[in-house]
Structure 1
Amino acid sequence: MQVAASLPLPPSPSNATDYACFTDDWSAIRRPEHPLVVQRRAVPLCDGHVLTRDPFTWRASGAPDRAAAALGDLPGALAEDIAMLATRLAALMLCEEVRLRLELVDDDSCRKLHADFTDLRLITTYAGRGTQFACGNVPDGEVWSIDAGDIALVKGWQFGEGHDPCLHRSPPIAGTGERRLLLAIDTPRIDPEPGA
């Protein structure tokens, strides 16, 4: 799979860098001052036939490579990227297994700003608009978005004492005809809330 090198920082509110860290070094998420780490990258090459399917949510768990293979009938480049991200997250969090969720959505799946009941979640969008984050990590005011392709490491409520969770939401797309193909990867340590 060919992925471009890291891209320049995105235009974002000046206070985004007060709580978000833009870097290729995922270990930066261990710093208490950063509830969010963003790695900029180009959208990995992906066969567009996935986007023509009916909206879906596919889940799998287990060792990173096996979980990625268990997601379903995916184009090779997409499956390779998911396996690579899952392997890298497992190494970062010192876990042998991960939980994957690949979704094709055409609605506002998580329209309210929220923090996840997890320790750490990786979010990336392969098609459509990227995830939105609360400016200053506070629930009031404007939001800013990462781009499709970008990787977000998002702290949840269970990351650890002294670490604030990251407030985020899905971009509003209901009724626009837009579709998003997004991936979320969690560690197996925390059971998500029902329906999460």
Structure 2
Amino acid sequence: MESRTKISLCVAGAIFCIGCAGAAVQIFKGSWRDEAPTTVAGPALWLQSPSYKLPASSSSEHYAYITGAVSRPGVYPISSDARVFQLVEAAGGFRFDADQSQVNLAAPVRDGAHVHVKAAALAPQPRAKSNSSQNRGRENETQYVYVNTATEEDLCALPGVGPSTARKIIEYRQTHGPFHSAEALLEVSGIGKGKLSHMQTLLRF
């Protein structure tokens, strides 16, 4: 009798344990299904965001060279959309003898450009009429050169003066100051009395 009772208790205990285990499994499954999945916003989602913008690339500095009838000829930094009038302003503006009618102030200035402002043409002076029958009735015009403000191009218009001599005149003028007479040009290397005699009547100071 006692042995049967023990067996019954063991069977009942086993059934109870199995029931508890099944209930625990069902509870665990339900909680796992109800839990919302976790989403990690990785780099790919951030790059695809419509609010993301690439940083603006920095533009490199541009330069332009201006010469001629401006206050301070030289090389100046400019923006990529610069215009001629901005380059002239950077060079201190036009010189008093600048021929502004020949300059397109609205033209764009590209990187590495060279802008040359010509000096205004001086009023021509008529020469005496030639006695030659071939040239009778024609007048020759003389254009004077103002040595202290002339550009290299202007100086090259003088007889016997090439680019090398013109540059020497400008360098001497910048170092020693303005010329006050034609004889002062004899101090410039490459100009002798013979060459000076050919150009002397065309010089103004």
The TM-score with structure 1 as length reference comes to 0.20
Q: Which has the higher contact order (CA 8 A, sep 6+)?
A: 1
